[in-house]
Structure 1
């Protein structure tokens, strides 16, 4: 089994949100999403800046071809608007593990149901369809909003890898690692569904 075959092309839909395989056709929509809040100015993210969106997508497609990453465009079903992007990455078929990352959304949809719904879709596909044993996350040690969001999913903090990666400003970051095992997924799913129900007021 190769990682290319492990994560096959799929479109995931729920709650008015559609996660579809990232393609060059998403370039304009993705650039507009990044411009909503000028997200590339945040030093602890890797959002493409002006004029960088095509290269960003091409890199994601190359990583998909290599089997190490599968990127999605996050799309509003009703309007077709691209809201951001998220990916499976560090795909390890031999141990049935994927990580979820490269995640960012237009500022106008942050702190809404979008991230919770997207994570529910991706975690559900990873655990229920791909039969993953573990799903992981990693984030910058200074990206406290991301750490809180990951912890709200029910993931457990594994530790910190010091001096692990370069930021966009060429400083060296520590990386905070999280994970969830398959046995923890049912409770996490119930909590995510509860949060979405509260958001929808039902």
Structure 2
């Protein structure tokens, strides 16, 4: 994972590109929708929170902890929100896909499927990693179904794992896809999609 280069992942419907300071204006309406953060550990409640979220994203990339993207819907040219690679271990050849949030207009549209395909393709086909992890709140049924639909295997639940912004102790459910599983997943679940990547 080269944190020093800008990474662009795309197919016919979606472009994932590094977040830039100028993106915050477009992200603001999505970020300030309280429902966006229902299942998240943190929340963005105002413009200052959004600026702090962005600064944390920039810092994490600088420190090689997380590689954050914005999601661009190619049909409209609009930003749909954000996603990221994180918990990256080059030695172990594994990473996590997460930190994903979507605007209401882009939920249940298939856009998230395209995003996951791009991120999985780069992790397995380019980086040649062995394991991709995903996790969510055990109560987030929509997210759990979506993760299973992309071919991930449920691994188990970490009880009282994280503190939510509202004070609730979250149980976190983990999923994974392994490198030997990826060819079959790509040939069935994602058979209609193609992937390109550019680093500059």
Mapped pair 1:42 → 2:22? no
Match of 1:123, SS?
Answer: helix
| Equivalent of residue 6 in structure 2, options 5, 9, 17 | 9
Query: Deviation string for 1:67-90 (max 9, x for gaps)?
Result: 121110001234331101111010
- Match for residue 153 of structure 1? 150
2: CA distance, partners of 1:102 / 1:191: 26
2: CA distance, partners of 1:194 / 1:103: 23
1:119 and 1:126, CA in 2 relative to 1: closer, same or farther beyond 3 A? same
1: CA distance, partners of 2:94 / 2:179: 10
- Verify the 8 A CA contact 1:141 1:173 in the aligned structure 2: yes
2: CA distance, partners of 1:168 / 1:82: 25
Mapped pair 1:26 → 2:4? no
Across the aligned residues of Structure 1 and Structure 2, the Cα RMSD in angstroms comes to 2.1
Q: Offset at 1:174?
A: 1.1
- Match for residue 73 of structure 2? 76
How many residues get paired? Answer: 193
Question: Larger helix proportion, structure 1 or 2?
Answer: 1
Q: Which has the higher contact order (CA 8 A, sep 6+)?
A: 2
Q: When the two structures are superposed, what TM-score results if normalisation uses the length of structure 2?
A: 0.88
